[in-house]
Amino acid sequence: MQINFNNSDYLEIELLSRGASNYIYDCNLLVSFKSDIASISQDVWVDGYELKSFLDALEKLSSNLAGEASISSDSPGELLILIKSVDTSGHFAFQIEVGKQTFIGPEHFWSKVTDVFPLETAFLDVVCQEFISYFSDVKNA
């Protein structure tokens, strides 16, 4: 699935696999994000139950136009997606953080890209439907 925020900024998520070491609902995702600032591609794991909860929260957000929906990776700092209402006039924010940890000798360092995009109500519906339709197998499992 791909969400184009404008002509140059996009988020692409690909479901690589499901299940790892007796956790059949975990989802392995390839998350690629490009903005004017930077671009990053990261392989992350998210909890299947948390992904289902995120999709349910997106449905509520889309119908109520209030609240928020968020999901993060199993490993802290690798992925955060937050979509939230910022006022009662139909303005929303889409925040994305994608990062990866690099070890140099005994120390670890983070490379991280963070950005936020405004969403109007019509585009919120598009974004929510994109997530819900792409992850329908996970949602209905």
What pLDDT does 68 receive? Answer: 97
Q: State pTM to two decimals.
A: 0.91
Distance CA 98, CA 76 (A): 10
Inter-residue contact 113 to 10 (CB < 8 Å): no
Place of tokens 């360092």: 109
Nearest Cα to 122, choosing from 73, 62, 79?
62
Helical spans, DSSP H, in the chain: 48-64, 121-134, 136-139
Q: How do residues 92-123 score in pLDDT, each as one tens digit?
A: 999 999 998 889 999 989 889 999 999 999 99
